Structure formats: structure tokens, C-alpha cells
Amino acid sequence: MAETVRERIRSGGLRPGAALPTQALLMREFGASSLTVQKAMPLLKQDGWAVTRPGKGAFVAHRDYPDGADGPDGPEATAPAGGTTARVDALERVLTEAAQQIADLRGRVEALESDVSDRGH
């Protein structure tokens, strides 16, 4: 089931940002139980093919295609750009930048506190 949905995304049948079929539709289409459908979604999410929005549903993930690839039919279409590893790398970069900004702000606060303390004496 997850592979069928992946193929629909790769072929352009499901475009980035498009709503994925509901659980009820997938159950009917595949003659599957709700448990089976529920197991497919985490597979699509962990590989970067889908995102969920609480209260809204599941959607095709937006993907950037690597240089040389021409969209869903390009040579890199078999694996999602920005899969789990790329997302973790991006989050680590953002976290590192945030930690540096916090350290810079902490230094500024300490300098200001020192100036205020020196003036009070």
C-alpha cells in the first residue's frame, strides 16, 4: 500500500501539497483493515514522502529535486530528496545556529550587567 502511494507521488499523480487519500478510501481501495492502513502512513512519513497536519490530514511532502533531476520523472525520483537523514541534518544545523545565538545573547547580557554593576560602584 505504501509503495503504491509512493509510485503515485513519483509519477506525479499525487503532487506536493496534495491531500493523500483518507484512511476510509485506502481501506476500500485495497480491501485492507484500518490497522493495515495505519501502518502504511508512518512508512511514508519516515521516508519523507508524506507529512501530517493535526486536524487536517496527511499530505504529499514538498520535495526539492536534486540538480539534474527534472521533477517526479527525473533520475533521482526513486528516493525522496530531503528524507529522514536530510531532515535530521537540517535540524542539527538550525539547532547549532540557535545555540550560537543564545551564547552570543548571553555574552551581551553579561556585558550589560557588568556595565550596570560598574556604574553602581
pLDDT given for residue 73 in this prediction: 39
Residue 117 pLDDT class (50, 70, 90 cuts): confident
**How does pLDDT run across 75-105, given as a tens digit for each residue?**
333 344 456 776 777 788 888 888 999 999 9
Cα-based torsion angle of the residue sequence 77, 5, 43, 87 in order, rounded to the nearest 10 degrees: 40
In the beta sheet, which residues pair with residue 57?
53
